[in-house]
Amino acid sequence: MTMTRVAASCAGDAEHAGLIALTDGLKSLIAYWADKPEDAFHYASQGTDTAASLRGTVGLWLLGLQARAAAVLGDEETVRTVNQAAADRRERVVHDDLDQLGGLFTYAPEKQLYYAVESEVLLGHGDARLAAQAEQAVLGFSDPSSPNWAFGDLAGSQFDLALIRLFSGDVEGSGMR
């Protein structure tokens, strides 16, 4: 978190709204994995506000982070609202200088799908529609030669798919025998 605050200071000095928003996303991600969902939601919301006028994918990532944090907090309405806003915004994305860098600086459609599915899984949902989306997310991360491939995202999407199948009563399909 200290290094992210340093990066945020540098982004502020550069007056680069995309980088400022991205560092809020990093703070949110760190808080999420540190089991501090209130902080994760706060940082994601702060970054979403900063990225509101940006056209690149950093704003989408912040919405995904917001949805996951809201799901951990049990706020189903916010999850649905934020995921819908992200889906709507995806249609209007214009890749910017951060997206051109790739890696952590861009938010690929497969990752957006993975985050949306995960937010539903965190709420305990598991139906056929969600299973199909989870299968699509797994497929999106199944090719290690893809520029958007990430081991952690593949593992996370596979885990989400297993939980969805388990929640829907498909113990055999979950791999949890």
Residue 173 backbone phi and psi in degrees, to 5: -70, -15
The residue to which tokens 């081991």 are assigned: 151
Q: What is the DSSP string of 86-98?
A: HHHHHTT----HH
Mean per-residue pLDDT for 68-74? 98
How far apart (Å, rounded) are the C-alpha atoms in residues 120 and 152? 18
How far apart (Å, rounded) are the C-alpha atoms in residues 5 and 133? 35
Question: What digits encode the pLDDT tens for the residues 74-104?
Answer: 999 999 999 999 999 999 999 999 999 998 8
Residue 174 has pLDDT above 60, yes or no: no
Mean per-residue pLDDT for 42-68? 97
Q: What is the average pLDDT value for the chain, to the nearest integer? A: 94
Predicted TM-score of the model (pTM)? 0.93
**Strand extents, DSSP E, 70-155:** none
Residue 21 has pLDDT above 90, yes or no: yes
Q: Which helix (H) or strand (E) is 80 found in, with range?
A: helix 76-90
With a CB cutoff of 8 Å and minimum separation 6, the contacts of 47 are 20, 21, 22, 23, 24, 25, 27, 28, 58, 62, 65
